[in-house]
């Protein structure tokens, strides 16, 4: 008897082999689809990160400008207040100095007038006295 292989048995082994290979291929296809989906998600995430990085300098610039303005505003106000206070103090001191200088100028003017009056009086008295002495001397010369 010739033994013929069982066509159904061989076919079954082949079917099992096909099913095993197809199962492996199906598993690989599923893994590839999952990897593709994961890559799509990663690509979308990377695109959103790239978009965020492009917007980031503008946002950082606006935030930095706002922070600098917020920090500079109290400093500017404090500086202006300090300058105004200093100017008010200086103005008060200059007003006092001006009043004192005017008072000293008035005193100096009165003193100069008094000294001029004294000088005129002394000069007049000296002139009169000199004239009298000259008259007496001339009278003495004429009498002798």
* The pTM of the whole model exceeds 0.75: no
Strands, E, within 1-144: which ranges? none
pLDDT greater at residue 61 or residue 15: 61
**Token pair of 85 as six digits:** 């206070």
The position carrying tokens 């935030």 is: 63
φ/ψ (deg, to 5) at 4: -100, 135
What is the tens place of the pLDDT at every residue in 34-82? 989 999 999 999 998 888 888 888 888 899 999 999 989 999 999 999 9
Domain ranges of the chain: 109-143
End-to-end CA distance of the chain: 208
CA 14, CA 7: separation in Å to the nearest integer? 10
CA 15, CA 13: separation in Å to the nearest integer? 5
């Amino acid at each position: 008897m010739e033994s013929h292989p069982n066509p159904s048995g061989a076919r079954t082994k082949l079917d099992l082999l096909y099913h095993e290979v197809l199962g492996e291929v199906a598993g690989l296809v599923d893994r590839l689809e999952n990897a593709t989906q994961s890559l799509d998600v990663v690509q979308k995430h990377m695109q959103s990160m790239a978009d965020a990085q492009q917007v980031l300098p503008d946002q950082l610039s606006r935030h930095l400008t706002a922070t600098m303005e917020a920090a500079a505003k109290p400093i500017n106000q404090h500086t202006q207040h300090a300058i105004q206070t200093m100017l008010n103090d200086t103005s008060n001191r200059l007003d006092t100095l001006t009043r004192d200088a005017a008072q000293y100028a008035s005193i100096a003017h009165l003193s100069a007038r008094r000294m001029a009056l004294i000088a005129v009086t002394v000069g007049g008295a000296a002139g009169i006295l000199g004239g009298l002495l000259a008259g007496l001397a001339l009278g003495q010369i004429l009498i002798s």
